[in-house]
Structure 1
């Protein structure tokens, strides 16, 4: 197997009989657009969301990797929105970045999730890289290169433990290991690999997607987030130049906003799923649902119990969105001035947003069927994708531990731990 082996996609519900490596995509032939303001970022996201929504259900049905959509997405300039102004980027606020992800995710949460690690790695480069490395890697991003990820490992005891290592060979390092949940790697141009040095420190070794020995297998079989391509990455003595070796561990050796940035993007994806589920519930109630036999009403949308439930969901979605905005402001403060206090404030604000976005995404996508009725379960509508996406995506960071972080901070003044899940 190698990165050039033709891809074979599994049908819905079918796992590939043999792992197959997927070919790398070419780099863009022209530089990506560079967005110049927060307002432009939101406007572009709105237009793209309208386009992405058109094929979202069918992509979910068929597990089709969104290659053309990702090209449109990254060439739009939205994948470079947190590149610092000093390096030619827009450096929009994290309030705006979270709203961009929420808008895209309301249209197609797989497309909303795919850039999560890309944007997180961009933030990490800002935190830990030297000037020369920032110039090099930010330049790649501004030209339209997409980072994937090869972070998590299937067999490790805990999520933050890694067996993948690299050896030093002069101007290169050589990486060997196996990764899973590699969202974005399938359609990336560059693949950041979390690998340990001989001291056990975690680096991002950013390899070319078509590097010799790097194989991406499209074997993601999760029932939700089907078109994220979150499969397996096999690393067989992959050579990475030291210019592309980013000391990621430094982002957690002291208080920085890096973990909160990874997390706020996750919360934004869930907010988008909740928006879509609630919007589809309302549309179905208005156009397809029948009132209950004992109601004496002509329209399901006039049922007082339905009206109450929609009001409750709308309220909780708006509360989650308000906390997401508050979290973005806290992240902006921590990026501008990273202290133990500003970073803890950002982590707590993001944890609050993550709790509510998780809960409302799950509730809205489940209540959809209770309120809209039996016909809403028909396969032709594919409305179950909202719950499948919510249930799958919210498993990334269990809210039971967010409650623990929030309670320990409020009760005992214990600051959250410093890692990518906090």
Structure 2
């Protein structure tokens, strides 16, 4: 059922850990989102690490949402995880981003590693509320590895390492000097030789800490290498890039929903009708109503597309190693379609929201431009032109997208 996106309430909420942990996961996310929204504009200006907010996520129990109940987690499905990501992103897409990448990193070790590896990491994550950060970035080949007897050495630098600051664990990668093969591992962030650099200062997603990580002769033990079955080695392992793409899609949907909630609130409470409008109140102006109708239709469409893709992902996840290439291909198409539509709809809404608010809504203190800045920054992650190319290959030639780290 469609639901109006009302402005986030201002009433104080009880956010103690015991109280939160008694609630269903989506309600926990909604309570946290209400809290995060109050300072989102101010923190957007500050940048840096949202330490207090990350600690609230730790205490909430939501970091273990993906982890099976038998390992101490909540055992949630992908549709529920994506709804939590969307809820947090609606309030603050930086927090939604680092929270979403927690589950991408956990999925990475689940899909690429042996059960005794990922099982131990999952159990420790649930027990200690570990945050996982990203230092994988397969397109950045500056980090190289050397093989020794029973261990590897990583040396170099990685960029776009979202959530690496204030994390307990990292998923990292390097290229072997001899074979140019990618090596992926899971290691403690505090490992000797790992330096997380505070150099993220982009105009959007300003509190994702998506800067750089240096590796100074970092020792990686064999049992930390994700090699069995390894990266993109089976159709099931190839779900990893699809999870990444659907995570991004739901962040985009959340940003668009947040922008719309702000625009609607401003239309109803602050905006004034144009001097020659036939309406006495702004909310009765026919052009304003027309724009809101377009926004709503776009939001309805991208929610449906994202939810359908999440249901398909969950079905593929439950198939496990029995997943076939064609089944994986169908999931890839659904996610690509949802991502293209969410990108275009979100950017349009975040730009045109000012057509239903008026000139006063551009006041710098409101920082309503952060929705466009956040979405524009995030949608540069990989070009939708190449998503459309993949969809075109299917539409015209019935060829599924070839699995890569981005498709």
Using structure 1 for the length normalisation, give the TM-score: 0.86
Find the aligned partners of 2:26 and 2:117 in 1 and give their Cα distance: 29
Describe the shift of the 1:33–1:236 C-alpha distance in structure 2 as closer, same or farther (beyond 3 A): farther
Pairing 1:188–2:172 present: no
Question: 2:300 matched to which residue of 1?
Answer: 318
Deviation at 1:370, TM superposition (A): 2.3
Deviation at 1:326, TM superposition (A): 0.2
Q: Aligned ranges for residues 50-65 of structure 1 at < 5 Å?
A: 50-65=34-49
- Which runs of no fewer than 5 residues in structure 2 stay unpaired? 1-16
Describe the shift of the 1:346–1:33 C-alpha distance in structure 2 as closer, same or farther (beyond 3 A): farther
Find the aligned partners of 1:161 and 1:108 in 2 and give their Cα distance: 28
Paired residues, number: 384
Deviations 1:318-350 (A, max 9, x none): 110111110001101111222112211111111
Deviations 1:233-282 (A, max 9, x none): 11111122332222388341221221111111111110110001001011
What secondary structure, in the 3-state scheme, does the structure 1 residue paired with 2:307 have? helix
Deviation at 1:86, TM superposition (A): 5.0
Describe the shift of the 1:213–1:52 C-alpha distance in structure 2 as closer, same or farther (beyond 3 A): same
Find the aligned partners of 2:94 and 2:118 in 1 and give their Cα distance: 28
Pairing 1:203–2:183 present: yes
Describe the shift of the 1:317–1:172 C-alpha distance in structure 2 as closer, same or farther (beyond 3 A): same
**Which deviates further from its counterpart, 98-107 or 246-255?**
246-255
- Which runs of no fewer than 5 residues in structure 1 stay unpaired? 1-30, 153-158
Question: 1:133 matched to which residue of 2?
Answer: 117
Find the aligned partners of 1:171 and 1:55 in 2 and give their Cα distance: 48
Find the aligned partners of 2:19 and 2:161 in 1 and give their Cα distance: 26
Question: 1:302 matched to which residue of 2?
Answer: 284
Task: State whether residues 105 and 133 of structure 2, in contact with CA within 8 Å, keep that contact through their aligned partners in structure 1.
Answer: no
Find the aligned partners of 1:135 and 1:249 in 2 and give their Cα distance: 15
Find the aligned partners of 2:21 and 2:73 in 1 and give their Cα distance: 8
Describe the shift of the 1:342–1:254 C-alpha distance in structure 2 as closer, same or farther (beyond 3 A): same
Find the aligned partners of 2:277 and 2:401 in 1 and give their Cα distance: 50
Using structure 2 for the length normalisation, give the TM-score: 0.89
Q: Aligned ranges for residues 5-154 of structure 1 at < 5 Å?
A: 40-143=24-127, 144-152=129-137
Find the aligned partners of 1:269 and 1:253 in 2 and give their Cα distance: 27
Pairing 1:218–2:198 present: yes
Find the aligned partners of 1:330 and 1:189 in 2 and give their Cα distance: 31
Query: 1:336 aligned to 318, 321, 330, which one?
Result: 318
Describe the shift of the 1:281–1:34 C-alpha distance in structure 2 as closer, same or farther (beyond 3 A): closer
Find the aligned partners of 1:322 and 1:413 in 2 and give their Cα distance: 24
Describe the shift of the 1:409–1:91 C-alpha distance in structure 2 as closer, same or farther (beyond 3 A): farther
Query: 2:372 aligned to 366, 382, 387, which one?
Result: 387
Q: Aligned ranges for residues 406-421 of structure 1 at < 5 Å?
A: 406-421=391-406
Question: 2:339 matched to which residue of 1?
Answer: 354
What RMSD, in angstroms, separates the aligned Cα atoms of the two structures?
A: 2.2
